[in-house]
Each structure stands twice: as structure tokens, then as C-alpha cells.
Structure 1
Amino acid sequence: MLKKTFKVGLIINPFAGIGGALALKGSDGAEIRAKALALGAEKKALDKTRVALTEILPLQQQVHIYTASGDMGETLAQAMGFNYSVVYHPATEQSEGHDSELAAKAMLDEKVDLLLFTGGDGTARNICKVVDFSVPVLGIPAGCKIHSGVYAITPQAAGRVVAQMIQGQIVSLTQADVMDIDEDLFRQGRVNARQFGEMHVPTELRYMQAVKMGGKESDELVLADIAAYIIELMDEYSEHYFIMGSGSTVEFIMQELGLANTLLGVDLVKGGQLVASDLTAQQLFERVNHQATKLVITLIGGQGHVFGRGNQQLSPQVLRSVGKENILLVATKSKLNNLGGKPLISDSGDIKLDAELAGLMTVITGYRDQVLYPLADLQ
């Protein structure tokens, strides 16, 4: 079991769904909320959030919640006995959409493992403006309009997925749409829904890929998918250096690029071209220090080591320069499955860095296909 505390960002839109029972066709806008409250509407977002959080109560000693004051999260976290920190205070008691955005920014600063939010499509739009793909998100459905794919099917389902993540179980990351409709047009009987963005959402894992048969041919197909995605990222980040780590998975990507590869060494690519081969740790650091850089690395099959086995060129100095957010960990799902549930391991030679890297890691397992897998905190 991971020792590292799982950090949950929690944002509740207390007014989500407040206009639904009164047929107000939504809850967006201060006037609508004021009218709903005047008509005796009940705020149910906290109750729905409580249902979700109840699923993780048995794990509360492994969790720290970062939230906003009052009914945006603090009230419930305190009442349920969670360890929590308030990182945002709305200016008024009746919070608005911009408060969700500012709260999300504050939680990103805390480097939360998951941003959990309660609301409807309007709240999802607010979160998406800030988060994009920087952290997994999960919505607890409470709004009048739930067109977006970032929400769990029920509050209880949301809590169960969070519980899986806390326990270090593998969950898939899905790229889900954020949708919303024009409430004014909706009140006139017209539905005009459109996409406003996408975010990464954790889902219950359907672990082995049923569409690909077992054996070497399957792995080659999956590796081709992984390579296609990495090459697409190289095109997107053409001004970035890409450090290509050791191992056969990375070698396959280099073959797809048509570039010479150092199987047991570290190479450097930029703009789809080989810049340098078989670099030492010092040479690598001198190249990438203060430069936009991404690291493509795989794990040792059967052992789970990511750093410290056969890639000592990736020194703590280099890894700190690159940053955890720029590590592109690649592996087939069968390679992860062969770990038998054991966590990944970092043995970089810097105990503090290993602890900083611990937690859920995003692993690229196919073309725009990713899963979350735990990296152990061995302190």
C-alpha cells in the first residue's frame, strides 16, 4: 500500500440543481438562484457530495482534502471528519462560477492527485477553463443539466472510483467532453448543446484490451499505437527536447521515427531529428537544463523500476530539470498486468525526489489511451 497521502481537491457548487425541481431549466445566474431560493428551493449539492465522500470514509486517514471555505467544501469536509485545508475563500456567501475557477487554480497549486467537483454542466465548464488536462477530474452529478461526459453516473459511483484511486488500484484515464446548453434558449424550448472542451476523467478499468489477441502480434500492435501517440506529441511540441530513455519499448518508438537508437543508453530528439546519442548524465543535463523538455521512459518488465535500473543517465539533477509533469511513461497494459499489482519503483539515488515522484503516475498504454498506476513511496 502507498504511504503517500492522496490529495483530493474538492469544489462544490452549492447552488447546483437548485432550479430543477422548480422547472426553472437550470441554475446559472444570480437572478435564477435568488428566484429559486425565494420559492423555497433546497440546496442538495452538499447531500450528493456527502453520498460520494461516504464511499471513501473508511480510507480517510490516507486522504487530505484541499477545498474552498463554507459550503464550497469546508463545511462538509469538517462535518465528515476529513483532514482538510482551505485554499480558497469566495468573496461572497453566494459563490459564482469564477469562484469555482479560482478555487481550481488554488488546488492545482497544491498539486492535487484528483479534482473532485459537484455541479452541472456550467460547473464543468468553469473547471475546464482552468484544468484542461493538467490533472484528472471527476464530477459528482448535481446540476439540472448533465450533458458532459466528465460526470459519474451517480454520486455513489463517483465515490467508488475515488476509493479505487486512493487504494492504488489501476484506473483508466478517459478523455471526456465538456458540454453545455444555452439556458435562455432552453427556457424557450430550444436545445442548443455544444462542446466547450475536454478533460481527463478516471474510469473503472476494463483492463485487458479485448480487441487485440494475445501474444507478440498483440504487443506489436499496441506498441505501434503508443509510438503513433508519442510521435504526435513530438509534432505538437516541436520546440521541445525529447529525452528517449533505454529499453525495447522506447526503441520501438525510435524505429517508428526512423532514427538510430541506443538500446541501453539515452538519446535526445528534437523536431523529429536525432540531436545526440548515448549521452552521459552531465551531457544530458547541460543540454536540457532550462530548456523545454519531455522524457519518454518505460519500466522494467516484471520488476516495475522506472528510474535507477539501467538508466542512471537520468540523474536526479536531470529529472528535477525535466519535472514530473513532463515525464511520458509508456508501457503496454500486458506489461503492467505482469507486475501482479506491485507498484512502480523509483530508485533515483535521491530519496527526497523518489518521494516527490510517488503517487499515481499516468502511463501511456496506446494511442490517446492512458491509465493511472501507483509509484511507491518507499520512505
Structure 2
Amino acid sequence: MRVGLIINPIAGMGGKVALKGTDGVVDEAVRRGARPVAADLVRLFLAELDHYGKAGKIEFLTGPRPLGEDVLKEFDIPFEVIGHREIGYRVLDGVEIPDTTSEDTKELARRMLGKVDLLLFAGGDGTARDVVEAIDENLPILGIPTGVKMYSGVFATSPEDAARVLVEFLHGSVKLEEREVRDIDEDAYRHDEVKARTYGKAIVPVVETLVQGSKERLPLDEEEELEAIAEAVAEEILERDGVYFLGSGSTIKRIKDRLGIDGTLLGVDVVEVRDGKAELLVKDAAERDLLHFTDRGPKIVVTVIGGLGFLFGRGNQQFSAEVLRRIPKENILVVATPSKIAGSAVRVYTGDREVDEKLRGYIRVRVSPWMERVVRVV
């Protein structure tokens, strides 16, 4: 079987440094300390595939150098390179940045049509848009999640799960579904505005629990309930002095508003509560900001991303493995409406198996002003 593999080598660089994406801000991400992450996550995918012993039954068709070739060279996997152009590099603050663009993704995807049975791409929603623009619904695709925001329904839940889906695809035991590709305006997103739209549809191999859905809007009948939960949680926070890491999303933004701070809608904020008053210490914090406060016993307040079912690993990469390693699981407060935890479990993915294992098991989720529900974390 021939499988296409396209890597967006800059995908995900903006996550830990609070840029909420990487489109058009690679230089700024590097200046804030970001490093490429996509290749490392693809290595996890290939290592898992090798673990299943199926790698030898696949021939990959891929792009030159950072677009796929460099990573595949590290594994005993047959592959062919589509050398559509020479890839150059520049060095910024000691970091090599390839001169790849969205046109590389589109060109490679077009050249794979009719030559592969499945196209795998490593990136986020922007990369998914590029792939779908190039091939429409003429070829099944699957995303290896390496971006900052992955709200489209075309991604495996982790790089390792992408390998498991590919194995099932080899066995012919997957179902093909039409899924939406959604993306947001990253510049507006960085200014706490959500401007999302559907850019197309794709055919996706789906294995239950291994491929995520699309991000969902909150049902209108839960809005009033959410207001009451936010008020109750804010009151409880103000009763307990300490440092809090308040996550992203409209659910947590309601809590920030009731604490009387000018917090972000889509970023992570560091707040200190003392004598019943909340003070905003860091607005729109990056990973390094959070690490600065981990020795003060902070508590994390987050929600579940509706439709995706993630606590950590989608849109809040500031909560990195290094941050979560330093914070006890009992210091994590999860707030969510019942519809967000309607599935059998919620997910975490930090790229670090030890940290993910620490977070797995069960966690209490606040679902009303007076009620918690115990939910499994996988």
C-alpha cells in the first residue's frame, strides 16, 4: 500500500509561547523561545507504526527534506520523495527555519492524487485547509495532530493513534466518513476574537475513539447553567488564597470576569487570590511564565473542549508536559457543562507518556453549581 506523508515543519511552534498558532508569526515564536515540534511528533507516529510491525507493508510518498524525507530516513521504512523544489533554510536565534509555505503542501497533495491510497499530513487546521483545497474529496486524508488548534474532524487524537488508524486502514477495517475542515482567523484569535468557518469537507478513515470530532458550539439551553457554574466557582476561588492558572475558552472566561480580572478569552492567565481579591499577574501567559510560578503550588482551572473532548493538548499547549509534571493532579479543577462530557471519557495528550499516564484515571468535573461528576481520563 502506498501512503502519502506531508509534514508542515513549522506547525505547532506558536502553542507553548502563547501565539495560538504559527501562521505568519514564526519569527516572533522563535524570539519567544519556540522550537520546531512537528518532526518530533511524526517520529512518535512512525515509532508506533514500527511497533505494530506494519511499516514494511507500506511505501510512503513524501516531500523533500523537512516535508517528510528527513524523518522517514531515520526509520527502516521504504519511501519515495517528490522533489518538487529545493528547500532552503535560514537561521534565527540559532534555530533553523525551512522556507516552506502552504503552496508546498498544496503542490505535494496534488502530486499524490492517483498515486496513494491515503494521504497523511502533520499539522493543524491551516494545513488541513491546504490539503483539502488541493485535492477536495478525491482522496481519503488523516491528520497527525501537530498544530496549535485542531478543531477540524480530520485528526487522529494523537500521533500514536494516527498509526493505529493506519494499521486498521491496512486491514480494511475502518469506515470512511465525510468530515468538516474548519479553521479560524489566527490574527483575530490572538486578539480574543473567534472567527471560524467551514472551508470544506474531507473523506476520513474513522476508528471510534481514535479520530476526534469537530469543535462544537455550546447548546443555547446550557448558557444560563454555565453562568451559574462560573459564579459558584469564582466565589470558591476567592475563598482560597493562592496562585491559579486559568485556562482558555468561554467557560473559563466567565470565571475570569466574575473574579474581576481582565483575562483573555483564548489564552492562559496567571492570577493570585489574596484576602478575597484576585490580581492578574500574567495575562496571556506562555509556558515559561507558568513554569515561573509552579513552585508556588498553583491550581489549574480548565474546561473540556466541546466535540474534541480534550483537557490538555488542543489549543492550550502552554500547559506543557513540563508544566503539568510539576503540578499534582488534585490541583486541577475541571469545569464543564454536561454536554461536553457526554462521551465515555475525556482526553489528555502532552507528547510525554509519563505525564499523560499521571493524568489518566479519573477526575472530578464540576457540572453545576452544586454537583460534580467523575469522568475517566484517557
Q: TM-score, normalised by structure 1?
A: 0.50
Aligned to 1:34: 27
Q: Match of 2:184?
A: 181
1:171 equivalent in alignment to 2:146: no
CA distance 1:25–1:139, change in 2 (3 Å): same
- 1:65 alignment partner in structure 2: 60
Secondary structure in 1 matching 2:178: strand
Work out the CA distance in 2 between the residues paired with 1:25 and 1:203.
27
Aligned position for 2:371: none
- Residue 41 of structure 2 corresponds to residue 48 of structure 1: yes
Partner of 2:137: 133
Which residue, out of 146, 150, 157, partners 1:153? 157
Alignment correspondent of 1:345:
none
Helix, strand or coil: the match of 1:178? Answer: strand
Match of 2:119 among 115, 134, 138: 115
Output the CA distance in 1 between the equivalents of 2:119 and 2:140.
6
SS at match of 1:189: coil
Equivalent residues of 1:170, 1:205 under 8 A apart: no
Contact kept? 1:68, 1:90, Cα under 8 Å = no
1:126 Cα deviation from its structure 2 partner: 0.2
The Cα RMSD (Å) is 1.5
User: Aligned partners of 1:91, 1:33: CA distance in 2, in Å?
Assistant: 20
**Conservation of the 8 A alpha-carbon contact between 1:88 and 1:106:** no
Contact 2:64–2:87 (CA<8 Å) still a contact in 1?
A: no
Q: CA deviation at 1:27?
A: 0.5
Flag structure 1 segments of 5+ consecutive residues without an equivalent: 1-5, 207-379
Q: Which amino acid aligns with 2:155?
A: Y
Cα deviation, 1:168-212, whole Å, max 9, x if unaligned, reads 232100101000000111111101111000000001269xxxxxx
The answer for unaligned runs of 5 or more in structure 2 is 89-98, 210-378
Compute the displacement of 1:112 (Å).
0.2
* Bigger CA radius of gyration: 1
Structure 1 residue matching 2:154: 3-state secondary structure: coil
SS of match in other structure, 1:170: coil
Kept in 2, the 8 Å contact 1:55–1:163? The answer is: no
Tell me the distance in 2 between the aligned counterparts of 1:116 and 1:150: 10
TM-score for both structures, normalised by structure 2 = 0.50
1:183-332 to 2 correspondences below 5 Å:
183-204=186-207
- Size of the aligned set, in residue pairs, is 197
Give the distance between the partners of 2:84 and 2:29, measured in 1 at CA: 24
The equivalent of 1:221 in structure 2 is none
Q: C-alpha displacement at 1:9, in angstroms?
A: 0.2
> What SS does the aligned partner of 1:79 have?
coil
Contact 1:88 1:103 in 2 (8 A): no
Give the Å deviation of 1:90: 4.2
Aligned residue for 1:22, secondary structure, equals coil
- Equivalents in 2 of 1:44, 1:137: separation in Å? 21
- Once the two structures are superposed, residues 17-63 of structure 1 have per-residue CA deviations (whole angstroms, 9 ceiling, x without a partner) of 1011111121112xx11221233311111111111122222112211
CA distance in 2, matches of 1:11, 1:170: 24
